[in-house]
A and B are shown apart, each in its own frame.
Chain A
Amino acid sequence: MATTERKPRHAELGLTHDDLLAMYRHMLLARGVDERMWLMQRAGKIAFIISGQGHEGAQVATTYPLRPGQDWLAPYYRSIAQTMTFGMTAEDIITAHLAKGDDVSSGGRQMPGHYGAARYNIVSLSSPVATQVLHAVGIAMGAWVKGDDLVALTSFGEGSANQGEVHEAMNFAGVHRLPVIFVCENNGYAISVPLEKQVAGKSVAARAAGYGFPGVTVDGGDVLACYAAAKDAHERARRGEGPTLIEARVVRMTSHSSDDDQRRYRDPAEVEALKEHDPIGIFAGQLREMGVLTDESEEQLRGEIKAEVNEASRRAEARPDPDPATAHLHVYAEEG
C-alpha cells in the first residue's frame, strides 16, 4: 500500500529552499547591521540606537509575503529587519542612523529608528507610538476607494497596542473589511513595564474578535509559523475578506534602547535565557536539519553579510552631513 508522503512544512507554504535562505539572509543582515550600529553608538558615531534584535524572525517572515512596489508598510522603531525585507538597504539604515544629508528616510532630520521612504512605499515614522497604525488603515482605505490591489501592513509593539488609535484603526478596518495586516510584535516589555501590567487579558490577538476579524498568536521564534500567518492574512486581504491581527511573541534581546539598561528591571536569569529564544539560532537549526544550510554555506553567508555591513557602513560614513542651509526646506511644497 502506497503511503502519501507529507510535504515538508515550507513546501506546503509554497516556499523554496531559495526562499528559506533569502529569509535567513535578511535576518542575518538585519542582525549584522543592528550589531554594527551598537558598536558605532559605543564609538560615538551614532547618537542613539533602538534595536530589533530578537524580532528579526517575525519581521522578516511577516513581511516576506508582501509585494514590494505594490503593497505598503507602516513600520515602527524596531523595524530594521522588516524595512530591509521590504527594500531598504543596509546602507540606507546605517545612513539614517548617522543622520546624513541624503538619508532616504529624513535627510538627517529624524532621530535614529524613524524609518520611512517614499521610494519603498514605507510610511515615514514619528515618535508618538501607534500613530502609524491609522496610516496603514488610511492607505488601505485609499486602495479600497480606488479599487486597487494593495495590502497595507503595519507593525507595533504590545505597549503601543494599548493606545486608543489602535482601537480606532482596527475598528474602522473591521467595519469596511479593509486590506490591512496588523502585526503586533509582543516582546513582553514596554520599556520596563512587563506585559501583565500593560495588557489586561494578556493577549493582544484576542481583541480581534471584538472587531470581527481573526486574531492569531504565533511564536516569533518560529519563522515558518510567522510566515504562514502573514501569508494567510495577505491572501485574506486580497480576497476582500478584511484585516488580520497577528500577535508574534518575540523576545527583546537588548535593552529598550541605548539609553536604557534592562538589568534594572529584568531578572538576570531571564536575560541570560534570551539567547535560547534567538530566532536566528532557531531558524538556523531548522535549516540545518532540512539540509538547506551547512557549515560551509553558513560560513560563506556570514562572510558575505560581514562584507556587506562593512561596505555599507563605510559608504554611509563617507556621505555628506546635512547642510544647515537646507534645514528650512520642505515645510510646504512651494518652498522646495
Chain B
Amino acid sequence: MADLNILEAIRLGMDEELERDPTVMVLGEDVGKKGGVFGATDGLFAKYGEKRVLDTPLTEGMIAGAAMGAALYGLRPIAEMQFADFVYPAFNQIVSEISRVRYRSNGTFGLPMVIRMPYGGGVHGALYHSQSNEAYFTSTVGLKVVAPGTPADAKGLLKASVRDPDPVMFFEHKKTYRLFKAEVPDGDHVVPIGQAEVARPGKDLSIFCYGYMRFCALEAAETLAREDGVEAEVVDLRTLRPLDTAAVLGSVEKTGKALVVHEANRFGGFGAEVAALIAQEGFEHLDGPVMRLAGPEVPAVPFHHVLEEWFMIDPAKIVAAARELAAY
C-alpha cells in the first residue's frame, strides 16, 4: 500500500498500463516533455518515448479522431483533453464516430480507447477551465463514463478503462488532484467499471455522488452525524454509465430518502437520471421527495473567488439539503 493523491494514482495507472501492454499509448497537448499541464503524465515521455507519449498540436478533434483510428488499428490509446471545457471541437468525433462505430458496423469494429478529461471548478478556472460537462456524454449511447473520487478508484478505474473494449470518458475532478492522499493497493489494482461503492454506510438517508462530491458528501455526513444524529449513507457512483442501478435502489430501499449531488447544473443533468430511476423503480421505499443538489443555472463557474464560492457545491450546502430531506 502506498499513500498517493489522485494525480499520482492516475499517473501510476497509466505508467503500469504502458509498461504492461505495448499497444497502449498516450496522446494529447503537452503530455510529452512537460508531462501535462497538471503533471498527470510526468516522467512517462522519458520512460516510453515520443511514439507512446505523444504531444499533439492544439487540435482536440484530431486528438479524438486519430485516437479512434489508432484504436481501429488495434492500439489502446489514452487521449487527454487538456480541460473538459476544450472537448467541444472533438464532440463530432466522440458523438458521431467514437460512440457508435461498434453499433454502425454491426459489431465488426470496436474501439478500446480512453479519453481523459480534467473537469470541475473550485480551482479559479472560471467559465472555460471549470466545467462539469459529463451529461453530454452520459446521454450518448455507446460511451462509458467514469468519475473516480479516491486515489485507489482513480488508478483502478483507469486501468479498467484502458482494458475495456469500448470507449471510456474518464472524468478527473481537478480540485481532487492534490486534495488528499489515501491508500492505493499495490500491484495490478483494477476497479471494475459499472460498480458503485458505499463510501459510508448510513440508515437515515442516501447521498448519491461522484468525483469531488464524494469528498464533500463524506464531510457533510460527519457533520450530520455529529450535529443532528442523522446517519447519511454516501454512495459514490464511480461509474455514471453504465449506472449501477442495483446499488442505487438498494441504498434507497435501506434509507427511504435520496439526495443526488453534483456540481454540474441541475436541468437535464446526470442527477435527473438517478432521480428518475429512484422515482420509478424505488417508489415504494421512499419516505420523502427525491432531492437534487446541483450547480446553479448559469453557463459556468464565474471567476472572482466570491462568485466561485457562490457557485460551488460544498459540505455546508450538502448538510443544508440533507437536513431538509431528513425532516420528512
Question: When chains A and B are docked, how far (Å) is the Cα of A134 from the Cα of B105?
Answer: 18
Question: When chains A and B are docked, how far (Å) is the Cα of A320 from the Cα of B2?
Answer: 58
Taking the closest CB of chain B, its distance from the CB of A106, in whole angstroms, is 5
Question: When chains A and B are docked, how far (Å) is the Cα of A109 from the Cα of B100?
Answer: 11
Q: Considering only CB atoms, which chain A residue lies closest to B112 in the complex? A: A333
Chain B residues with CB under 8 Å of A332's CB are 102, 142, 144, 165-166
Chain A residues with CB under 8 Å of B89's CB are 164
Chain B residues with CB under 8 Å of A105's CB are 105-106
Check if B66 sits within 8 Å of A137, measured CB to CB.
Answer: yes
Tell me if A238 counts as interface (CB < 8 A to partner B). Answer: no
Check if A134 sits within 8 Å of B108, measured CB to CB.
Answer: no
Classify chain A's interface size.
35 or more
Chain B residues with CB under 8 Å of A133's CB are 65
Given A131-B93, A134-B61, A164-B61, are A142 and B70 neighbors across the interface (CB < 8 Å)?
Answer: yes
Q: Considering only CB atoms, which chain B residue lies closest to A140 in the complex? A: B69
Chain B residues with CB under 8 Å of A135's CB are 65-66, 68-69, 72, 97
Tell me if A203 counts as interface (CB < 8 A to partner B). Answer: no
**Within B49-95, which residues are at the interface with A (CB < 8 Å)?**
51-52, 54, 56-57, 59, 61-62, 64-75, 89, 92-93
A168 contact from B52, B54, B65, B67, Cβ within 8 A: B65
Tell me if A310 counts as interface (CB < 8 A to partner B). Answer: no
Stretch at the interface among A5-13, A80-88, A114-122: A114-122
Check if B109 sits within 8 Å of A168, measured CB to CB.
Answer: no
Question: When chains A and B are docked, how far (Å) is the Cα of A124 from the Cα of B97?
Answer: 9
Q: Considering only CB atoms, which chain A residue lies closest to B22 in the complex? A: A146
Chain B residues with CB under 8 Å of A136's CB are 69
Chain B residues with CB under 8 Å of A117's CB are 108
Could you give, for residues 91-129 of chain A, a 1 whenever the CB lies within 8 Å of some chain B CB and a 0 otherwise?
000000000000111110110001011110001101110
Chain B residues with CB under 8 Å of A103's CB are 106
Question: When chains A and B are docked, how far (Å) is the Cα of A332 from the Cα of B100?
Answer: 9
Question: When chains A and B are docked, how far (Å) is the Cα of A171 from the Cα of B59?
Answer: 10
Tell me if B307 counts as interface (CB < 8 A to partner A). Answer: no
Given A117-B108, A330-B103, are A123 and B72 neighbors across the interface (CB < 8 Å)?
Answer: yes
Check if B25 sits within 8 Å of A134, measured CB to CB.
Answer: no
30 A/B residue pairs, CB under 8 Å, sorted by A: A104-B108, A105-B105, A105-B106, A109-B106, A110-B104, A116-B105, A116-B109, A118-B105, A124-B104, A126-B97, A135-B97, A141-B70, A143-B73, A145-B51, A146-B22, A164-B89, A165-B61, A165-B62, A165-B65, A168-B62, A168-B65, A169-B65, A171-B57, A171-B59, A330-B105, A330-B107, A331-B102, A332-B142, A333-B102, A336-B107
B interface residues (Cβ-Cβ under 8 A, vs A) = 22-23, 25, 51-52, 54, 56-57, 59, 61-62, 64-75, 89, 92-93, 96-97, 100-110, 141-142, 144, 165-166
What 9 A-B pairs have minimum CB-CB distances, sorted nearest first?
A138-B69, A134-B65, A107-B106, A330-B107, A138-B66, A142-B73, A333-B165, A168-B62, A142-B70
